[in-house]
Chains A and B, each alone.
Chain A
Amino acid sequence: MSAVPKIVTSRREYADSYTLERYKTTGGFDGLKKALSMTPEAVCAEVDAASLLGRGGAGFPAGRKWSMLRKSDVSYLVINGDESEPATFKDHLLVEHDPHQLVEGVIIAAFALQVTQAFIFLRGEFALGLERVQSAVNGFYAEGALGSNILGSGFSLDIVVHPGAGAYICGEETSLLESLEGKRGFPRIKPPFFPAAIGLYGEPTVVNNVETVSNLPWIVLNGGSAFAALGEGRSTGTRLFALSGKVRNPGVFEIEMVKTTFRDLIFNPSLGGGVTGSGEVKAIIPGGVSAPWFYPEQLDLPLGQDEVADAGSMLGSGSIVVMDTSTCMVKAAWRITRFFSRESCGQCTPCREGSGWLERILYRLENGQGRMEDIDLLLDLCDNIAPGLTWPPQQTTICVLGPSIPSSIHSAISRFRDEFVAHVTNGGCTHG
């Protein structure tokens, strides 16, 4: 593991990692200079060779997303930094600690795509991150690395840093574009499934995640094949994993894909350092709260896109929450469901009404007013939102927020039905 490079967290050890001075003395601009000396096609080819999967949650190959836009004319690049999936905090690290790397990555992507303007959309709650990324953008302009004729290359680009205003749904890319157009964050009806066809202001647009583009300076400098040599199968390179919940050392870890298991991540002394509370794992949420849960028997699964998908869940946003055996599963499912209920945009009935109904049932179970028939009612309602309760879920709504709601409830009841029953017979939660 020692030979694995830090691709996006190389400056993390420096207290001043966010400053232009530190950036310049640690290889800043190198990837950009190299990219500008190449043709846009060659830069795209390196990203294709890297097989870089999008790091936002869906895990779509970045190169393929780009190729949808390459033939078009006017277009925008929008960076999704609306990181709001519960327990996901990797982009937070990147925007606060290495904003220049992000901006460099954005320019490289824009050059490869030959887009005319780029926007970095950051969730409004990242006040410090917004200030640091704006400072970085200012620094790039001052260095001639942004604006007209970037570093004498004949390529011009403007980047605008855009603050969100607090809405989980804006992480959904079509909702993000609506928000960037100054509207409520209502996801758009699909198809088209990708904004590459009809994006910002109806123009072809690529939306990439903060971590995805932060990989680009390294990929351009070291070559796509060096990136692809890390990891295994479809999961290439390293990835940031955000570990939280009942672990000794919660935090963000940059790890080579597939080569580490959930068990390593949670128990390795240099990573998670073991489970707190009871010391034993009861369940883990492998990829954000939209993902079906895993249990102790899945701990030896590798942290890889397909490996996790084949086991019936998703690596999603790379956030892993550990729940120990003292955790109340009803309460956990309730809190996650309440989140979805609050953040549902309200466009689609199954999500808007379903999430609130589910939340109220879970609340009464947790607080002693539950009835035995509530348990099957929960599953029945979940089945109405995502018919068949399959994974990946069936879609009854405009976006995937609705069909993500059943994951935690279905996981909790399937595995811990006895706990739900006990909440009814004991008149509420006894977990204290």
Chain B
Amino acid sequence: MSVADEPERPGSASRTSSGPGRLLVALYAIFAVAATSRAAVQIVTRFDEAPVAYLLSALAGVVYIVAVVGLTRPSAAGRRVALIACSAELVGVVTVGVLSIVDEGLFPDEAVWSDFGRGYFFLPLVLPVLGLFWLRRSAREPAPATAGSAPGR
């Protein structure tokens, strides 16, 4: 193998988008594209059929985009934005998941968050938990290379 085995390059990326965060950003980016384009298609082609489900898909898309932006910003503000997005996502997927099971009439067509994200391998339910866990863990770790940005120090 011609590439040097260099597991971590400290300081080369923001903390929330390095290490496991890098994988998280990739997954969130996929869902941002998936949810936004799905909602766009649904709203453009058949909005009248299930407006609640389609608007919720659009909202989910926006939340995923905000999460990607937050996770890729190295600043404390980025972290806060990511925290809000992941929390909103968790609340959204649980609320919509429960509602879609209790009252099927509310979601005649599948949205990203209906049935707890079953159409997407339940990843919409898993992602925010991983996201919140990662934000918590990466906040506790001391900042690599950049001095003075570690919280509480």
The answer to whether A and B belong to the same complex is: no
Residues of chain A touching chain B, judged by Cβ–Cβ distance below 8 Å, are: none
